[in-house]
Amino acid sequence: MNLNRVAAVILASGFSQRFGSDDKLLSDLNGQPLAAHSAALVSALPFHSATAIVPANNTRLIQLYDDAGIEPVQNHNADLGQGASLAQAIDHIKNTPVDAALILLADMPFVTAAHLKKLADRMDDRDAVASRHGDVPQPPLLFARSTFEALATLSGDKGGKAFLATLSNTAFVDMAAREATDIDTPEALAQAVAQAQTSVD
């Protein structure tokens, strides 16, 4: 599947409760806000459209996505969970001329363009293609248009991975441990910073 037939969606409106009082997605990683890494990845690829679901009134995060050429869509019900955020994203793009939606998380900074292209290459006539590390499916997730109606009804914390389990016509693309890293705690961020410094040295 060509990326120009895909709508890219970054989910960036979670509460990040395990990160404490700081705004996780604006925390520094290698000289840039954490959210800027996935934003740069999406901006560099020829998707039909690029959208980020962001917390309502988070002006700095909204500006970050604006500057990256990604449309920020404010989520006024972030407390309803990731499933509801995903449903809002699908509702936003469902009437556009795309064949699939690629769902990424803003706190996964090390996903590569090569991996996203592999997901698209495996799509064919499948309902979905998921990333996988070990035996565990995880984002990024690519969902066919045929799933949009059901995705738009999700609610609570049952997001893309839970929905994926209800589908039968799926495929998986393995990803390296570094690519699969998500930053959920200050400790995870510090470890990612240390790894980056080691690779530079």
Q: What CATH number is attached to the domain comprising 19?
A: 3.90.550.10
pTM (two decimals): 0.92
Mean pLDDT of 119-123: 98
| pLDDT given at position 200 | 45
More confident residue, 128 or 15: 128
6 DSSP β-pair partners: 100
105 DSSP β-pair partners: 11
The model's pLDDT over 3-61, given as tens digits with 9 standing for 90+, comes to 999 999 999 986 555 555 468 899 999 999 999 999 999 999 999 999 999 999 899 99
User: Residue 169: helix, strand or coil by DSSP?
Assistant: coil
Residue carrying the six token digits 């441990």? 177
Pairing of strands 100-105, 136-144: antiparallel
The model's pLDDT over 171-181, given as tens digits with 9 standing for 90+, comes to 999 999 999 99
H or E, element range at 173? strand 170-174
**Helix H segments across 153-185?**
160-164
- Give me the chain's average pLDDT, please: 91
Residue 117 structural domain = 3-200
Please tell me the distance from the alpha carbon of residue 105 to that of residue 9, in angstroms, as a whole number: 8
| pLDDT given at position 157 | 76
Pairing of strands 128-133, 49-55: unpaired
Please tell me the distance from the alpha carbon of residue 146 to that of residue 127, in angstroms, as a whole number: 7
Domain count, the chain: 1
Which band of pLDDT confidence, cut at 50, 70 and 90, is reported for residue 184?
confident
> Of 31-40, 56-65, 137-146, 159-168, where does mean pLDDT reach its minimum?
159-168
